[in-house]
Structure 1
Amino acid sequence: MLSDPWSFLLLREALLGRRTFAEFRDNLGIATDVLTARLNSLVEHGIMEKIPYQEPGQRTRHAYTLTPAGEQLKLVFIALQQWGDEHLASTEQLRVLPVTRDTRRRVRVTLVDEEGTLVDQANAEFVPAASAIPRIHGAARVVHDA
């Protein structure tokens, strides 16, 4: 589903406020058959939803909006941009920046533990789930093998 560049570009455009088939097509220069397939896949996987709309004197069409799951991918895009800023040398100025709505200050993705404490990236690791301490609403719970 998110295995090709077009899907990421469609999500970027949706995060920028694009909603209609024509807006996606015109802004990306994507072939209509590819656009149809990618939008259908994003809808099928619960990332976007189709909303009917009608311009005066026109037939009913569909707009595509991000679902809550799609909106959460904003974190992934911000993290990818952060990584690129740090590790990919570029002389080009960024065309899109993540900022707060109210202050327009740039935002960053950071790691926090379950209690909201900031965690240094060097202190985070992946472990088998069985060796982690499962928590429910901040309280430790014991997990028994079935």
Structure 2
Amino acid sequence: MSQPDPAAMNWSTENCTIGRAMAILGERWTVVVLREIFNGIRRFDQIHDHAGTPKQVLTNRLAMLCDMGVLVRHPYREPGERERHEYRLTAMGFDVYPVLVAVREWGDRYLADLEGAPAAMLHRDCGASVGVHLVCAAGHHIDSPHDVVTTPGPGARAAALPRTRDA
């Protein structure tokens, strides 16, 4: 007996915002560059030295993040040197922070060395650990993905054609 297709099969994915976000964030070095900038490492040479990002890759990622509006270049000049740029987060960039916290939590849970996590994120005011928690608009805490249902949003489009299965 065959399973019915999930309802999501009826929606197009051509304007999926997860797909669009991953087109910006979905490459390893992009997330590493953002990690560095969130940690206050904003200059090209510092990012290259600390993260080990290949120079051409770093150049490309910084340009893309600036082009997409995640970062902005800010000029600086050390005495006796030419003008250079450091990279600062825009409002769009700051909004990526919960994503990085969630990735860090997942990595700490499943990929940390036996000694434990290599870094901690602590609330500056009280020192408690920072984490990501799902909460609905009515204030209910979501404990499991099973407690969430995805439905078409206002920008949903019907799938072009129903998918067929091989006979």
TM-score range, shorter chain: 0.7 to 0.9
Q: How does 1:89-104 map to 2 (within 5 A)?
A: 90-104=113-127
> SS of the counterpart of 1:104?
coil
Q: Report what 2:78 is aligned to.
A: 55
Q: Provide TM-score, normalisation by structure 1.
A: 0.79
Gaps of 5+ in 1: 131-146
Distance, in Å, in 1 between the alignment partners of 2:113 and 2:151 is 34
Q: How does 1:81-96 map to 2 (within 5 A)?
A: 81-88=104-111, 90-96=113-119
Q: Which moved more, 1:34-43 or 1:75-84?
A: 75-84
RMSD of aligned Cα (Å): 1.8
Please say if 1:128 is aligned against 2:148.
no
Structure with bigger RCO (C-alpha 8 Å, 6+ apart)? 2
**Aligned with 2:99 (options 76, 98, 102):** 76
| Cα offsets for 1:64-117 (capped at 9, x unmatched) | 011111111110111122223444574142222221111221011111122333
Q: Report what 1:19 is aligned to.
A: 42
**Aligned with 1:111 (options 106, 123, 134):** 134
Quick one: which amino acid aligns to residue 139 of structure 2? G
Gaps of 5+ in 2: 1-23, 155-167
Greater share of residues in strand: 1
User: Cα distance, 1:7 vs. partner?
Assistant: 0.6
Runs of 4+ residues deviating >6 angstroms: none
Name the count of aligned residue pairs.
130
